Structure 1
């Protein structure tokens, strides 16, 4: 019986490891990817629109404020666009 218990425990650990790995792989975008997506969304946002785009939701508030200010300066022609 001890080998059967060990086999179950091993299978459980392997299954849990697989689920965790799949979950981490499913997270998808890196933080940098989120920043780039947010920047693109802000560039595409209509002038005067102050709503936070969905693509910017994963960003920390301070980072969002910096990206928003950067894009606003680009749109005003005070800061060169990087595309």
Structure 2
């Protein structure tokens, strides 16, 4: 199912194709139960903006995922900041 974007995902100037690319080519993904909203689960995706992006040019994307069949909602995207950079360091995946 195709996700829906909210206007807030555009707030920091990250183009929607870049957001989709980061999700599809993620280098890190995690469920954030403490952030859950609207009866959905919030998932963090960290990845490059595009294929030629430098490793330090990653972006963070937050997606609200619903279990009742509603389309996922992409509601936040920005250059990777200290909060989620630290989260990735403190919660590594094998």
TM-score range, shorter chain: under 0.3
Q: Give me the TM-score of the superposition, normalised by structure 1.
A: 0.24
Higher RCO by CA contacts (8 Å cutoff, separation 6 or greater): 2
Q: Which has the higher strand share?
A: 2
Q: Which has the higher helix share?
A: 1
